[in-house]
Structure 1
């Protein structure tokens, strides 16, 4: 790859970051195919996770009837029904149950020796199955946040818009959509094509939020 190509790729990446907005008005006529939605989710799963246990699970709500059902649960935010879909990002607190599958795939791909994988599996199952509930849920919240940001940037790179939503009745959502206690509801992400652009926003000066080697005393 030439220096010019590297520069162009970097420029494209930074454009995606700068162009991402939290969009709340969507064109309801725009649909995202199941195939493309699956591709975006697959790309998002390249995000890092604790011990590579990949605890994210996605409930994609694209049925008009179910979006209407979700609307009052999300405090009547119109993007729920106008967007192409709403993706519920969930965290599986028992993701260690897939350790054998995950590390087995690594062995098959030639990324890890079989005995190393066995050691990782045993250690992961022992560690994560014994965690206090609040610690396990904090881990899936962290990993859920990582993949959510990655998904939103992927959507922008493909020409779609998103808005992350933490303002919804999680207890009601879990009840109405049959989410078991094994899964923590991390956030909802509306995705589609903007009917109106998201509002530009400002950020604090980097000097106000970054400190090297020690925190300020006040």
Structure 2
């Protein structure tokens, strides 16, 4: 069964990492909000949704961020930079999340109570690095989904992990439980992205 002509496959292959943006093109906050909201359908560990977002649109602030992010041009010329943050205390939202699950008919009260109990037994006692690793993994899932949604809506993106995360946290006064994971520049391309090759399947996958 072939599905390579589907809209999803087209979007996947059309999405490239764009580093040259039209600095005159500005996205609205409503457009950015819609993309992020749609992206939150991504899966997450125990549905705790450990992702948080800091969206930077202000030109002066983007210039400051560029200095923190190894002078990458796209920080300043893109319409916005979406910072994906992780929340190491994601378990504190468990009651809110699973109460909403019941209200929306996804589970009953007994399953809600069991899930909350198990979450509060496991997550708070897990080492900080383990919880940060969970949040980072989940950030990867939602980041990819966000970029595909952006492409479907006609926008271009690039992810950046090369920035001073300590300075970022200080500059934007992040609470202790939150930490920056990746920056996503978003806007309209001013030049085509470079193509990129991929390793052959036999180099990366084993079937047993």
The aligned length equals 207
The answer as to 2:125 corresponding to 1:93 is no
Q: Deviations over 1:87-118 (max 9, x none)?
A: 11001011111111100111001111012101
Q: Tell me if structure 2 keeps the 8 A contact 1:140–1:184.
A: no
The answer as to 2:38 corresponding to 1:40 is no
**2:177 alignment counterpart:** 182
TM-score, structure 2 as length reference: 0.96
Which segments of structure 1 move beyond 6 Å, counting only runs of 4 or more? none
TM-score, structure 1 as length reference: 0.92
Structure 2: gaps of 5 or more residues: none
The answer as to 2:108 corresponding to 1:144 is no
How far apart, CA to CA, are the structure 2 residues paired with 1:177 and 1:184? 11
Structure 1: gaps of 5 or more residues: 1-6, 214-218
**1:153 alignment counterpart:** 148
The Cα shift of 1:29 comes to 1.2
**2:72 alignment counterpart:** 77
The Cα shift of 1:184 comes to 2.1
The answer as to 2:193 corresponding to 1:195 is no
How far apart, CA to CA, are the structure 2 residues paired with 1:179 and 1:188? 15
